[in-house]
Amino acid sequence: MTVTAGEPTGTSAGGVADYTPSAPSATRARSLHADYLRTHVDTLGGEVYELQGEARELDLRDRTFEKTKKSVPTLLEELTVERGMGWSDIAEVVGVSISAIRKWRKGGTASSESRKGLARIAALLDVLEEKGLVQDPAAWIEMDLPLDPGYFIRPLDLYLEGHTSALIDLAEQRQSVTQVLDEVRPDWRDNRSDFEVFVDSDGERSIRQRSE
Amino acid sequence: MDQIEPEALYDERGDVTWARPLLQGDVFDGIVLPGFGDQPMKVQIVNHPCAMRKGPEMLPRITVAPVGPHARVQGQGGWDGNLRIMPLPDLADGQHHATKFVDVTAAPAALLTRAYRIATLTHQGIYVLQQRLIKHYTRLEVPLELLRRESAPVLAEAVQQWDWIEEILSEGELTDESVIAAEAKVFDDWLSEGEPSRRELLRQEIHHTDIRKQAQRAARDRARTRDH
């Protein structure tokens, strides 16, 4: 589409037809071209984002499938002894009690769903480490995200809510923490606590009202 | 106020492992509580984990609250409207119970032995109990995430001690309070080693995985080399 300076661009009397653009035609043409490119890139970006999400999920599924070939005690050995993951975090991921998991370590029977849950978190920790940006993935997932005081959100919470791809985005630093949270937990800012945790005079943690 | 289902509330009911250290939320049966008559009853520890011990030793008296049968507390209205109790659904014998905060008292620690323990809570269950205790005493409502962060070091230490005891002691030894107490002391000494000590490192989440790995290795070494 070519627009000439001073010529009406609409068909109605008044309104757009009376408007006289001030920019030279070459600038407007460039602006329109930039708009077109931006739209194209945005569309392409969305498609690539979706494609990457699907590819990540497939990769994680493949890795999970490989991990499920291991016995439950072997998976637990990998998670607790090699990775140093906490029993309480593993229990939360699989949705059973700590005692139940500890019995599996000694030969107790786990459901196939539980076994898959163990395999999937083990696979995710591998992915996070292989990306090279998280040296100790088991530690990273249990630490609170770097947010203003009063927010207590861990990568593990995002995993438990099913936001695995967003979690990998965070590890790869493709998006900021707030961008990721805006996307997966739009109301996260509403849950800021008026309190904070601090180290008390006896060396133990306590809770107090935030001073700001 | 948060509500919690039995599956998420209890770590164990009935046959509770002796390897787990005594913690806030543990329920005992058969306790004759001073000042509450001669009949054995159920009680729940309400002390914060930090306020139960001096080093590895239990304090002489522990804060508990009586537990009795109670209609099942249901729905958000039920959990919000019964602020003087901690609901314990399906606690024992298919019956619902509740901890009565208004009857909180101190019990001799010697009464609260593993042989009488009938239930333990998950970490989430402990946070819900803490939330209700705080609300009962102060009308202040604290989110569970805050309680999780506040309790993280002490619960991490408790789980690590549980792991240590279970790794090292035999099945037979796991029914002997004195052997468990002695091994808890060994773990406490191990945790106190170093400058800064491992216990101090455990106060920061970033060190948790390292300490867990060290503890697993040390416990296995000890299991191989100790005299039974």
pLDDT digits (tens, 9 = 90+) for B61-71: 999 999 999 99
Distance CA B210, CA B216 (A): 10
The CA distance from B156 to B139, in Å, is 28
State the pLDDT at residue A19.
Answer: 62
Whether A11 shows a pLDDT value over 80: the answer reads no
Which of A7, A34, A5, A35 has the alpha carbon at shortest distance from A22?
Answer: A5
pLDDT at B157 over 80: yes
Q: What is the mean pLDDT of residues B131-136?
A: 96
> With an 8 Å Cβ cutoff, is A87 touching chain B?
yes
pLDDT band at A3 (very low <50, low <70, confident <90, very high): very low
Contact A206, A198 (CB under 8 A): yes
- Name every residue whose Cβ is closer than 8 Å to that of residue B5 and which is 6 or more positions away in sequence: B89
Residue A97 belongs to some domain of the structure: yes
Q: Contact at 8 Å (CB) between B125 and B25?
A: yes
**Residue A20 CB contacts under 8 Å (≥ 6 apart), including other chains:** A5, A6
Residue A151 · residue A145 · CB < 8 Å: yes
Mean pLDDT of all residues in B29-34: 93
What confidence category does residue B158 fall into, taking pLDDT thresholds of 50, 70 and 90?
A: very high
How far apart CA B64 and CA B47 sit, in angstroms, is: 7
Nearest of B30, B32, B106, B93 to residue B64 by alpha carbon: B106
Could you tell me if residue A208 is inside a domain? no
The pLDDT value given to residue A1: 44
Place of tokens 């438990």: A160
What is the pLDDT at residue B58?
A: 85
Chain B hits for A152, CB-CB cut-off 8 Å, are: 143, 145-146, 148-149
Q: What is the pTM of this model?
A: 0.84
Q: Which of A80, A81, A207 sits opposite B142 (nearest CB)?
A: A207
Q: Would you call A126 an interface residue with chain B, using a CB distance cutoff of 8 Å?
A: no
Those residues of chain B whose CB sits closer than 8 Å to some CB in chain A are 10-12, 17, 20, 50, 120, 122-124, 142-143, 145-156, 159, 162-163, 166, 200, 203, 205-206, 208-213, 216-217
Handedness of CA B75, B80, B82, B84 (dihedral sign): positive
For residue A86, being part of any structural domain is answered with yes
Cis peptide bond N-terminal to A73, omega within 30: no
ipTM of the complex: 0.85
In a domain, A182, yes or no: yes
Of B207, B205, B160, give the one whose Cα is nearest residue B187.
B160
Instruction: Report if residue A28 sits inside a domain.
Output: no
Please report, rounded to a whole number, the percentage of residues in chain A having pLDDT higher than 70: 88
Residue A31, domain member (yes or no): no
Rounded to an integer, the average pLDDT of A166-174 is 87
Interface test with A, best of B138, B145, B168, B220 (most A CBs within 10 A): B145
Q: Cβ separation of A83 and B143 shorter than 8 Å?
A: no
Q: Given this model, what pLDDT does residue B227 score?
A: 67
Average pLDDT over chain B, rounded to an integer: 93
Distance CA A30, CA A37 (A): 10
Residue B179 has a pLDDT of 95
- In this structure, what are the phi and psi dihedrals at residue B185, rounded to the nearest 5 degrees? -65, -40
Helices (H), chain B: 6-9, 75-81, 123-138, 144-168, 177-192, 198-201, 208-225
Q: What is the per-residue pLDDT for A6?
A: 45
Asked whether residue A33 is domain-assigned, the answer is no
Q: Which residue has the tokens 């791809």?
A: A165
**Given the structure tokens 């402990």, which residue do they identify?**
B126
pLDDT band at B53, cuts 50/70/90?
Answer: confident
Residue A9 has pLDDT above 50, yes or no: no
**What pLDDT is stored for residue B226 in this prediction?**
80
Distance from CA of B111 to the nearest CA of A (A): 24
Q: What angle do CA B211, B214, B216 make, to 5 degrees?
A: 110
Q: Identify each DSSP E strand in B46-116 by its residue range.
A: 53-54, 57-58, 61-69, 85-92, 95-100, 105-108
Comparing B64 with A55, the larger pLDDT belongs to B64
Reported as a pLDDT band with limits 50, 70 and 90, residue A17 is low
Domain that holds residue A159: 39-192
Q: pLDDT at position A22, please? A: 64
* Reported confidence tier of residue A68, pLDDT bands at 50, 70, 90: very high
User: Is the Cβ pair B142, A99 closer than 8 Å?
Assistant: no
Confidence class for position A212, pLDDT limits 50, 70, 90: low
Are B120 and B6 spatial neighbours (Cβ–Cβ below 8 Å)?
Answer: no
Question: Both tokens of residue A212?
Answer: 């700001």
Q: Which residues of B touch A84 (CB under 8 A)?
A: 208-213
Residues 6+ apart with CB under 8 A from B94: none
Nearest to B11 among A97, A199, A203 (CB): A97
Q: In the structure, what pLDDT confidence band is assigned to residue A5 with cuts at 50, 70 and 90?
A: very low
What pLDDT does A113 receive? 92
Whether the CB-CB separation of B21 and B158 falls below 8 Å is answered with yes
Pure H helices in chain A = 25-67, 72-77, 87-94, 98-105, 112-130, 137-142, 155-160, 164-171, 177-184
Tokens 């002490």 label which residue?
Answer: B154
Mean local confidence (pLDDT), A127-138:
86
Instruction: Name the residue among A98, A136, A193 with its Cβ closest to that of B209.
Output: A136
- Compute the mean pLDDT over every residue in chain A, rounded to the nearest whole number: 85
**Amino acid at site A115:** R
Q: How far apart, in Å, are the Cα atoms of A107 and each of A69, A72, A76, A84, B213?
A: 16, 8, 11, 20, 21
The answer to whether the beta carbons of residues A76 and A105 sit under 8 Å apart is: yes
Domains, chain B: 6-142 (2.30.30.110), 151-225 (no CATH)
B50 and A204 within 8 Å at the Cβ level: the answer is yes
User: For chain A, what is the largest distance between any 2 Cα atoms, rounded to a whole number of angstroms?
Assistant: 85
- Residue A12 confidence (pLDDT): 46
Q: Which of B12, B118, B123 to mutate to test the interface with A (most CBs of A within 10 A)?
A: B123
Q: Pick the closest to residue B121 from B140, B147, B146 (CA basis).
A: B147
- Rounded CA separation A133/B111 (Å): 51
Note the pLDDT of residue B32.
93
Q: Do B209 and A84 touch (CB under 8 A)?
A: yes
* Residue in chain B nearest A103 by alpha carbon: B17
Compare B191 and A108 and report the one with higher pLDDT: B191
pLDDT of residue B124: 94
CB-closest option in B145, B150, B212 to A206: B150
A120, B161, B207 from B186: Cα distances, Å:
36, 10, 21
CB-CB neighbors (< 8 A) of B10 in chain A: 97
pLDDT at B228: 60
Which range among A14-23, A48-57, A139-148, B173-182 shows the weakest confidence by mean pLDDT? A14-23
Residue predicted with more confidence, A23 or B226: B226
CA-nearest residue to A101 within chain B is B11
**Range A8-18 average pLDDT:** 50
Q: Where does the pLDDT of residue A4 fall: very low under 50, low under 70, confident under 90, or very high at 90 and above?
A: very low
For testing contact with chain A, the best of B209, B211, B220 (most A CBs within 10 A): B209
pLDDT in tens, B178-189: 999 999 999 999
What pLDDT, in 10s, does the model give residues A183-197?
Answer: 999 999 998 888 888
Assess contact for A148 and A135: CB atoms under 8 A: no
A71 touches chain B (CB under 8 A): no
Whether residue A197 lies inside any domain: the answer is: no
Does A8 score more than 60 pLDDT?
no
Q: What is the count of structural domains for chain A?
A: 1
Is residue B203 helix, strand or coil?
A: coil
State the pLDDT at residue A2: 44
DSSP state of B59: P
Contact B149 A197 (CB under 8 A): yes
Residue B97, pLDDT > 90, answer yes
Give the residue-averaged pLDDT of B2-17: 93
Q: Is A203 in contact with B203 (Cβ distance < 8 A)?
A: yes
